[in-house]
Amino acid sequence: MASDISGLTYFTFKFGLFLVAFLVVVAFLLYKFQNKILYIPVIQGLPKSQDQNQLGMQNPSQIGLDYEDINILTDDNVKLHGWIAKRPNPKNVPTVIYFHENAGNIGTRIVYMKEYNNQANCNVVLIAYRGYSNSEGEPTEDGLMIDAQAILMHVFSRTDIDTKKIYLHGRSLGGAVAIYSASLKLPVNFTLAGIIVENTFTSISDMVDVIFSKLKFLKGLVLRNYWPSIERIPKIKQPMLFIKSELDELVPPAHMQRLYQAATSVRFKKLHIIPDGDHNNSWTRDQNAYFNAIQNFFQGCDAY
């Protein structure tokens, strides 16, 4: 009997050591490769660079959209690339800086860019984050924040648009970038007209609870990407439009609701709900309703 107990104790001890070692390895890998897990410049079936996409997804002119290339050098000497699509009267319409989603190259957003430009009657700026598409570097949270600042400085310095009508629009990861950008203390003459966030998360920590729920007890040790939008959003004073898809399969819609409720300092806010919308393509469900909501938001900001 004693030997049986001794054997069980030894087995339990060995198993405990194995479990601890396993968790240490998992924690190390999650910490070391976290950026590669979180940021996804390349998705299956598509190249990193939009130049290697199929025709129609390489640049906006291939689907009849007039555009200009934009090349920006960040404060840490990373070259970013993207596009601006302007209206025929670019100084008389709003300009939207679209902070894109996580996965894939910017060529996958060309159709959206064209419809945004046409249906919302605005100039659209789309710049790839570092490590995405034709932009240099490797994506990190600090790096994307530097990118956002460089993009803002570039757009506000342009003389071919009305810099008093610059809006931010971010979807998913881009929503976190937009909220960060709007919470910055910008130069006095750099005033954002409004911010649009769509299907974005409250924080990376909260998303770990959703996607890696069984490993959430490790996040205090390994997490080095935060994007704490729920903490930043109360600092924003500009008008905000929240676009929430009720059937979002990636970010729980409750995250958007929490962000909406946390926007307590904004001059005014609106919530546009898409009942049958998913994470990325909700704008295709009812394009008229989607872009009308954005245009109405522009008009509300003008009138406020």
* Alpha-carbon dihedral sign for residues 144, 150, 154, 157: positive
CA pseudo-torsion sign 128, 133, 137, 140: positive
The reply to whether 147 belongs to the active site is no
Instruction: Answer yes or no: are the C-beta atoms of 65 and 85 closer than 8 Å.
Output: yes
Indicate which residue of 206, 248, 255, 282 is catalytic.
248
10 Å CB burial of residue 107 (0-12, 13-18, 19+) is: buried
The answer to whether 248 is a known catalytic residue is yes
Catalytic residue among 49, 135, 172, 282: 172
CA distance 193 to 240: 9
Whether 279 sits among the annotated catalytic residues: the reply is yes
Q: Which of 162, 183, 278, 279 is catalytic?
A: 279
Task: Say which DSSP state 128 is in.
Answer: P
d(CA 178, CA 202): 13
Tell me the C-alpha distance between 302 and 295, whole Å: 11
- In this structure, the strands spanning 269-274 and 240-245 are parallel
Give me the active site residues, please: 172, 248, 279
